[in-house]
Amino acid sequence: MRGGNGTAVTEFVLLGFSGYGSLRGPLFWGVLLVYLVTLLGNSLIILLTLADAALHSPMYFFLRHFSGLEMLYTTTVVPRMLADLLSSCPTILPASCFTQLYFFSLFGIAECGLLTAMAYDRYAAICRPLHYSTLMNPGACVCLVGACYLMGVITGTTHSILIFTLPFHGTNTIHHFLCDILPVLRLASASTFWGEVGNLAITIAFILTPFSLIIVSYACILVTILGVATFQGRRRVFSTCSSHLFVVMLFFGTGTIAYMRLGAGSSQAEDQILALFYTVVTPMFNPFVYTLRNKEVTGAMRRLVKKYLWSP
């Protein structure tokens, strides 16, 4: 119900797709198709990196965790979105909204950390090849992945507490299809200053800082590549990190644009378009990028198919 002047809001109404009318049906099937492709594609990457010994390297260890996070990240949003597309008045309890925001932040920031770890892995492999086995030993890889999940837990906890300790006594209508940070902040009936400061601090610490570290890593990689004598040699070295670079630009590009727009006056339509892109579309690209552009993964796929489907 809508909260009065002294009554706390007991449920939120998600109006993200309320104005789409007859387009809600096609949108439902389109989102469902993309979601299934995302689950199948990322599951395939996890299977390949576990089953093929040639992919038991630090880079594919990180990629396996990244694929798992992609599935968890989009699953925090898409099933609920699909149900709301079929509902005439989609509502969500504050506790469910809190849970969605918590895990959405956790998995998203953990992905930022993993992309940074993957960039460091490429830096160590290309710029410091003689020390690679020492720098990227199994213990170091596990610690890096653990740090990524810890970053996610800290972010999810901070965001959720800063936002849901605010009072909600006015309107209960969220002009979005998920409980994201800015749309929920707009409903608070008290000052959102500390919520916006917390959002900015998290953005700088766990989005812009990892992105900066990735840029530094690739600057060092570029210097090393330019030192390779032949064009074919440069192309071969760059091909080992081109897939990761594409995913980085896609992921951090949409995330930075979305979360650096702090003001409550930012366009709600832009919020929804960006959120639809980075929650539904972007996770689908990961399997295609790492299978179509990666010879090691495509080779592992052929070996797996030959072993289990074409074996006599």
- Above pLDDT 70, what percent of the chain? 90
Instruction: Answer with the residue of higher pLDDT: 172 or 66.
Output: 66
DSSP state of 55: G
- The pLDDT tens digits for 244-292 are 888 888 888 776 676 665 454 556 667 677 778 888 988 998 888 877 7
The predicted pLDDT at position 219 comes to 92
> How many CB atoms within 10 Å of residue 160?
23
Average pLDDT over residues 123-137: 92
The predicted pLDDT at position 232 comes to 75
Q: Which domains does the chain have, with CATH numbers?
A: 12-310 (1.20.1070.10)
The predicted pLDDT at position 165 comes to 84
Round to whole Å and give the CA distance between 35 and 287. Answer: 12
- The pLDDT tens digits for 201-226 are 877 787 788 888 999 999 998 888 88
Cα–Cα distances (Å) from 275 to 126, 239, 256, 268, in that order, read 35, 30, 12, 10
> In whole numbers, what is the pLDDT of the chain averaged over residues?
84
- Above pLDDT 90, what percent of the chain? 33
Q: Taking 70 as the threshold, does the pLDDT of residue 55 lie above it?
A: yes
Cα–Cα distances (Å) from 93 to 13, 21, 81, 172, in that order, read 9, 24, 15, 10
Predicted TM-score of the model (pTM):
0.88
The predicted pLDDT at position 311 comes to 53
Round to whole Å and give the CA distance between 115 and 109. Answer: 10
- The pLDDT tens digits for 87-124 are 878 888 988 999 999 999 899 999 999 999 999 999 99
Surface-to-core class of residue 296, CB atoms within 10 Å of its CB (0-12 exposed, 13-18 middle, 19+ buried): middle
- The pLDDT tens digits for 222-245 are 888 888 767 777 777 777 788 888
Instruction: Answer with the residue of higher pLDDT: 18 or 286.
Output: 286
